[in-house]
Amino acid sequence: MSATPDDLLKVPLNDLHIALGARMVPFAGYSMPVQYPEGLMAEHKHTRTAAGLFDVSHMGQLRLVGPDAAAAFESLIPVDVIDLAVGKQRYGLLLNETGGIIDDLMFVNRDYANGGDLFVIVNGACKVGDIAHIQAKIGSRCQVIPMPERALLALQGPQAVTALSRLAPGVEQLVFMTGGNFTINTGARSIDVFLTRSGYTGEDGFEISVSADHALALAQALLAQPEVKPIGLGARNSLRLEAGLPLYGNDIDNTTTPVEAGLQWAIQKVRRAGGAREGGFPGAGRILAQLAGEPGSITRKRVGLKALERIPVREHVELQSPAGERLGEVTSGLLGPTIDQPVAMGYVPPALAALGSLVNALVRGKPVPMEVVAMPFVPTNYFRG
């Protein structure tokens, strides 16, 4: 059965989205804005040139509390948690026993060793399962505290720092993948938030965790800034694809390993073969073998694809070799608004994963030639200081 409107959970800003003319759609069990009256293309381009405000309150937020929190969390992900400095953020991958990706996530060290916590953000569609999994695996070693009382807003784009620093002086001093506690002055009130200089668009920007009770006031204050417009899920998807960033459930899932997905950069040396804390995460044997390039350990790789004809190639379109053999399918694809060219991601055998390799996408029965190209499709603009 499909979900009815009454079955869908609402994020704290739904009434605001509707008042702004958003078209609402079901997404991850929530009612979410897919686009506003100006449309996806305008929203996408505005984010690339100014600042866009995204409501991502459906995402899961949780705290890991206790002196053993980092070591415990490190047992679930192939990432260096223990050595992460206070105030720093890192991308992580929650794995199953075969090395498949249960979810991708972000986490920040908010001084867990001295009474603070590890602050973790997981995907909305996965959060119930993620939290249950983390609780079951490490709940005896640290407190696992969900935060349903928090909303999450993302302010993205080259002018995001200009807009936000008017309301929260000091945020301009943060660099990419760092965070801290700030007070945002809306004029009518001061709102305490925790924010990081990060996001999922390839642009500079911030993700802002705020009490759900204050989310509306914060959103209104941000939208009052001349650089800022509301942006829906449609542009969020096109922005992240141009940035070469995978979407959980499309480009990565519990059958995909980090190496197959091209995410081995997220596995620090300390967790690899010969590192001080080699392995020790689910699926380590398989993943370390793939990192070592053992013959037969990798049968597919995620690649970026650019169509050589002006024909958009969507997800689930079949990919074929030049000889007509089935290779797999496109996992994400669209006409990139910034580059005005069809781009996609998908999985191909290692022999066809080299840059410049050619494959065909079967669009309505017609083979559309595509070239394997480097990602991101659009250069990233993260602020690194």
CATH class of residue range 5-59+150-242: alpha beta
Find, among 175, 198, 172, 218, the residue nearest to 55 by Cα: 218
- The answer to whether the CB of 324 falls within 8 A of the CB of 346 is no
- The answer to whether the CB of 162 falls within 8 A of the CB of 181 is no
Average pLDDT, stretch 37-45?
A: 98
Find, among 90, 95, 96, 140, the residue nearest to 118 by Cα: 90
Cross-strand partners of 121: 61, 106
pLDDT band at 2 (very low <50, low <70, confident <90, very high): very low
| Burial of residue 84 (number of CB atoms within 10 Å: 0-12, 13-18, 19+) | buried
Contacts of 15 (CB under 8 A, 6+ apart): none
Average pLDDT, stretch 283-292?
A: 98
pLDDT in tens, 230-264: 999 999 999 999 999 999 999 999 999 999 999 99
pLDDT band at 288 (very low <50, low <70, confident <90, very high): very high
pLDDT in tens, 289-325: 999 999 999 999 999 999 999 999 999 999 999 999 9
Find, among 134, 137, 9, the residue nearest to 61 by Cα: 134
| Burial of residue 319 (number of CB atoms within 10 Å: 0-12, 13-18, 19+) | buried
* Whole-number pLDDT of residue 28: 83
Mean pLDDT score of the chain: 96
pLDDT in tens, 183-223: 999 988 999 999 999 999 999 999 999 999 999 999 999 99
pLDDT band at 43 (very low <50, low <70, confident <90, very high): very high
Please state the pTM of the whole predicted model. Answer: 0.96
